[in-house]
Structure formats: C-alpha cells, structure tokens
Amino acid sequence: MQETGSPPLSRRDALIVAAAGATVPAAATAQGGGQERADGPAPARARVSLEVNGRRRELEVDTRTTLLDALREHLHLTGSKKGCDHGQCGACTVMVGGRRIYSCLTLAVMHEGDAVTTIEGLGQPGNLHPMQAAFVKHDGYQCGYCTPGQICSATAVLEEIRAGIPSHATADLTAAPQVTAEEIRERMSGNICRCGAYSNIVDAMAEVAGTSVAGRPA
C-alpha cells in the first residue's frame, strides 16, 4: 500500500514492479528451488528391434525419435536425406515391408520387427540395383540430394503397378494399371526434384520396367 504523502507511482514504475515480481518464481524453478524441473520430466526411452537392409538391429531410442533420425543418427545410414522434415519433399523415402513411406513422419518405435530397406540396402557401387544403374544411365539426378528417396520410391512404384494397385491416373480401375508416363508421374509426385530431372527419371523407370514412354524405346 502506498504511504500517505508519497508521490503516486507512475504507470511505468508499476509495470517494472510487477515484472520484477513475476521473475522470482521462474528463477526459483530454474535453480531447482524444490519445484519441478523447468524443462519437465526426462524423456521416455524404449528399445526397438528393426531388420534394416537384411540385418537385425537393436536400438534404444527416445520414443520421439523418427525412423529417419534412427537410421541417420543411430545406425549412420545417411543415404536417406532429411529435406523438409515435414513429409513434403520425399527425400527421406524408404521401404518398409516393401512399401514406400516418408521416414520423417513415423516414429522408430512404431516399427518393431519391421523390415526396412534404405538406399544402401538396394545396391552398392560395385553391385548396383537396376534402378540405380538406370538413374546413372539416364542422368536421373543433378545435385543428387533427392536421389536416394527418388530411387527407393521408383523401385516401390513399379512393384505397386505389378501388384495391380491403381493410382489417380488409372483410367480403368477394373483393369491392371500399365507403366505409362502418366502413371509414373502421378505415383512419383510425392518426390520433389528441385533440379527438375523429372523426364530423365521417367525414362529410367521405363527402362527398368522394360517398356517405352513417350515414344522413346526402353
């Protein structure tokens, strides 16, 4: 309470006093002060067993760890790239159980026992996967950052078509989809190439499929 005869507090002085008072409990929390830690409880950890590129791997990770970070940071398989980290570019695409997924959008602990294939598991420099060799032949990359995700996605796309899975570009849902430029472009639309090597990627995929696209023989 303001004493009689004291000059009245200005609005500025009142705000300073209020702000100073508000910092006391925050400081006490930051210093321990018998209260809960300022950053909350310690993060939960869990063990997860994955079959990565044909090899069983046992990990202990923070339960918030994405599959992408588990591959890159824990297993040092850095072929899978972190582009947007929001599932918008496709650079992190890997195959789980033969199906392509964005590894940045799923948690490692959600894949207990799953078989994961990364670009390293498809082929190595001395023993390239046919899709890798076709990308080299047709210059299906420029900077190369998106290429691991593109190749994993392209490999899975051809398997989807062989399995008869339709896409938005499939005109007749009662017939088996074919490997066409339209099918390839639609199915690969989730993998972004900022360098613009799309036409060469289509040619590479067509060669692996053993067909021709846009009049160019396989």
Give the domain ranges of the chain.
44-122, 125-218
User: What are the tens digits of pLDDT across the range 25-38?
Assistant: 454 444 544 455 56
Percentage of residues in the chain having pLDDT higher than 70: 79
Look at domain 44-122 and name its CATH class.
alpha beta
pLDDT at 142 over 70: yes
**H and E: helices and strands count for the chain:** 7, 5
Structural contact between residues 192 and 154, judged by C-beta atoms closer than 8 angstroms: no
- C-alpha distances out from residue 5 to 9, 10, 17, 45, 140, Å: 12, 15, 20, 62, 84
At the fourth CATH level, which superfamily is domain 125-218? [2Fe-2S]-binding domain (1.10.150.120)
Query: What pLDDT, on the 0 to 100 scale, is given for residue 40?
Result: 72
**Residue 43 — pLDDT band, cuts 50, 70, 90?**
confident
pLDDT score, position 33: 47
List the one residue out of 92, 112, 116 whose CA is nearest residue 103: 92
Q: Identical fold at 44-122 and 125-218?
A: no
Q: What is the per-residue pLDDT for 19?
A: 61
pLDDT at 211: 84
Where do runs of H (alpha helix) occur along 48-191? 67-69, 119-122, 130-137, 147-162, 181-187
Please state, in angstroms and rounded to a whole number, the distance separating the CA atoms of residues 211 and 178.
10
**Would you state the pLDDT for residue 99?**
97
CA distances to 47, 103, 116, 136, 142 from 71, rounded to whole Å, are 14, 9, 10, 25, 24
